[in-house]
Structure 1
Amino acid sequence: MSNKERIMQLIDNVPDNKLVFVVDMLESLKAYAGESIEPDAWDLQMIEEAKMLNDGERVTFDELCDELGITI
């Protein structure tokens, strides 16, 4: 399933009275479409720290929620 298909699936489950929030979010993202922002010093530091902590293991969102005891 593509990201666009997944988004449409999620939007189908949002009540009409809440869609205004989705529209606002998408409108704000549209302004950044295709824009590339260079990382600053803080970003680069966070990237380096993440590289040191990353053991290469991947976890799905659902697995992470289960691990944290969060119900979606």
Structure 2
Amino acid sequence: MSYQEIAKDMIDKLPADKMIYVINILENLGEMYGISLYPNYEPNKETLEAIEEVDNMIKEGVGEHFEGSTTDFLNGILGE
């Protein structure tokens, strides 16, 4: 079994909420050796539509600008 296969097997056994640590380690290794490990990210249709919606809101000067903490923002959305 190759090192890559061993690493992939180990990663598959980790809970999803711990993957950020693996990503951070890989990013640091890449930086140490001058290798770009960042994946090619292509946003899905829903994300592209959301980006376009925000761009149009900015161009047209519509929408609501919020200033405050994330907690305040979420409480406002959730009506708490």
What's the TM-score, normalizing by structure 2?
A: 0.40
Larger Rg: 2
- What's the TM-score once normalised by structure 1's chain length? 0.44
